[in-house]
Amino acid sequence: GQQLNQSPQSMFIQEGEDVSMNCTSSSIFNTWLWYKQEPGEGPVLLIALYKAGELTSNGRLTAQFGITRKDSFLNISASIPSDVGIYFCAGLITGGGNKLTFGTGTQLKVEL
Amino acid sequence: DAGITQSPRHKVTETGTPVTLRCHQTENHRYMYWYRQDPGHGLRLIHYSYGVKDTDKGEVSDGYSVSRSKTEDFLLTLESATSSQTSVYFCAISDTSGRDNEQFFGPGTRLTVL
């Protein structure tokens, strides 16, 4: 099955730094979702994007729906220790029914 | 947080035994999904339901069956568990189809098949 290419696979950054990660696909998506997952828990929805070019913020998180509809970006500003976790992108393909395709995740570790 | 519970949260079983995982929601959402999560593969859809008694296959449905007799419950059954089905299983729900498909996840069930 199709998967989204998510990069980087992992990041180890200092507290206070900004973080950027992205998701790319060979297919066009109508919806992009970004989730965060902490150990032993289910993914939690952070941001939803519905329109090409759309830029949406949720606190220190900002996500963008790429113009080509084949990519999306997530930025975290001024990282803090509780940002630690795995971040997943997910895309919805037109005509694919209700099925989301997920990226393989970016693991974020924050050093104090 | 969306009202989604999964049971059991952890299970160890032996190859060849049947296993049923339960997902229960209190949100009255129409759509329910079962995913498995494995290292290097992310989340992969097993089966989903778009209403009571209405289900369809996902990407990795072989060896799994589902049932939905009530809006609030979605059951995933492994008829004869195999070691390759050792995984973490997540249930998700959503209230709409198509474009606004925001899915909310349960806490997961860790299944080990020996």
CA–CA gap between residue A106 and residue A70 (Å, rounded): 18
CA–CA gap between residue B13 and residue B30 (Å, rounded): 31
Q: Are the beta carbons of A98 and B41 separated by less than 8 Å?
A: no
Strand spans (E) along B2-86: 4-7, 10-13, 19-25, 31-38, 42-51, 54-57, 64-70, 73-78
Q: Phi first, then psi: give them for residue A92, nearest 5 degrees.
A: -110, 125
The reported pLDDT for the residue numbered B74 is 98
Q: Kindly list the distances between the CA atom of residue A74 and the CA atoms of A13, A14, A44, in Å, as whole numbers in the listed order.
A: 15, 18, 15
Judge whether residue B77 has pLDDT over 60. yes
Spatial CA neighbour of B109 closest among B3, B11, B1: B11
Greatest alpha-carbon span in chain A: 45
Q: How far apart are the first and last CA of chain A?
A: 39
Q: Are the beta carbons of A41 and B104 separated by less than 8 Å?
A: no
The reported pLDDT for the residue numbered B86 is 97
List the single residue in B33, B43, B104 with the smallest CB-CB distance to A45: B104
pLDDT digits (tens, 9 = 90+) for A71-107: 999 999 999 999 999 999 999 875 555 678 899 899 9
Task: For residue B43, list chain A residues with Cβ-Cβ distance below 8 A.
Answer: 43, 88, 90, 102
Q: How far is B48 from chain A (nearest CA, A)?
A: 8
pLDDT digits (tens, 9 = 90+) for A1-16: 566 899 999 999 899 9
Judge whether residue B19 has pLDDT over 90. yes
